[in-house]
Structure 1
Amino acid sequence: MNRIIWMGIGVAIGVIAFRKISTAQSALGPEGLNRAVGRLADGLFDFADAVREGMGEREAELRSALGIDTAIGGGVDAALVSGIAGRRDAVRR
């Protein structure tokens, strides 16, 4: 009975080690590096989009609080936002 338990523990450790080594090998190659850089770039683009959106919302709040004509400024221009999104998609490809 003792041998079966130790054999099960050994098999479990072997499976865990094999999975960790396989993951590390795939992360070390050029494809793994490419994936890591892609994830980093996506994260930066998402962060920049969130900052731009927050800036537009805050600008709209300030304009309404100060009584500035919002028809002229109106926060972030839709053409500017769509242009930024288009560049973002082009960079990802």
Structure 2
Amino acid sequence: MKRIVWLGVGVAIGVIAYQKISEARSLASPGGVNRAVASLADSVAHFADEVRAGMAEREGELRKGLGLEG
């Protein structure tokens, strides 16, 4: 039973290492860096949009609760 567990751990480590190596290779090309930066920028923009939407929703709740609406 212990051997099966250690085999699973070894396979998991191998898969993670393969993914990291593949990611590093894709970033080695100039296009890879551009894709990574664009992806990061898109993620930040999406997060900012979600924060703004949450703030607007909360402001509406507060205005309604305080009777300031309309």
Scaled to the shorter chain, the TM-score interval is: 0.5 to 0.7
Please tell me the root mean square deviation across aligned C-alpha atoms, in Å. Answer: 2.3
Alignment correspondent of 2:37: 37
Q: CA deviation at 1:22?
A: 5.3
- Deviation by residue 1:20-73 (Cα, 9 ceiling, x = unmatched): 655533211110100110110011001001000000000000000000024xxx
Instruction: Give the unaligned 5+ runs of structure 1.
Output: 1-12, 71-93
| Alpha-carbon spacing, 1:64–1:41, altered in 2? closer, same or farther (3 Å) | same
Runs of 4+ in 1 over 2 A off after TM superposition: 19-26
| Structure number with higher relative contact order (C-alpha < 8 Å, ≥ 6 residues apart) | 1
Number of paired residues? 55
Calculate the TM-score normalised by the size of structure 1: 0.50
Name the structure with the higher helix share: 2
Instruction: Give the unaligned 5+ runs of structure 2.
Output: 1-13
- Counterpart AA for 1:37: V
Alignment correspondent of 1:7: none
SS of match in other structure, 2:68: coil
